[in-house]
Amino acid sequence: MPTIILDRDGVINHDSDDYIKHPDEWIAIAGSLDGIRRLNQAGYSVCVATNQSGLGRGLFDLEALAMIHQKMRDELEKLGGYIHMIAYCPHHPDAQCSCRKPNTGLLAAINEQFALDPDTTWMVGDTAKDLECAGRMGIRAALVLTGKGQGELQKGAVSRETTPIFENLNAFVEWLLSNR
């Protein structure tokens, strides 16, 4: 089964410079959950790889993160969609861990359960770090302009010449499913 890996904040839900610390702050980007449902229906495994340094910064705890992820799963389930796996980095950016994107620890964890085929696996993110992580893992990457995506493009962190760029997750899904 082909796999799509999604960053969370800025791709599935609205991002916040103050971090998503509570389920009430988790708000889906219009169309993102439907896009995930459509990927599921088309036979894709959908996984999430997300840096959650708010844990390492002491802004929220594992219980709050679990509740946020449960809200995301519950809202998806209402539409008939689901996420197969969520991998997250809990570390502060200064921790020098192997899991914080752009390092590949999160993708390696996903690869243990879902073989990441370079020909069929995509990572969709809103930052250059997401794209770099995918490149280090040898899989394809796409940028969405939601979240930090537009800013990354404007400051030249991502090249239009080498990276597929989409308005949002739903636009990526539409493109992917129409080009199978």
| Secondary structure E strands in 2-99 | 3-6, 45-51, 85-89
DSSP calls for 100-125: STTSSHHHHHHHHHS---TTT-EEEE
* Catalytic-residue membership of 7: yes
Torsion angle of alpha carbons 157, 159, 165, 169, nearest 10°? -30
Residue found by looking up tokens 């969709």 in the block: 124
Check: CB of residue 4 under 8 Å from CB of residue 44: yes
- Catalytic one of 7, 15, 126, 130: 7
Check: CB of residue 141 under 8 Å from CB of residue 131: yes
Angle value at C-alpha 149, between 146 and 153, nearest 5 degrees: 140
In angstroms, the CA 134 to CA 101 distance is 9
Residues identified as active-site: 7, 9
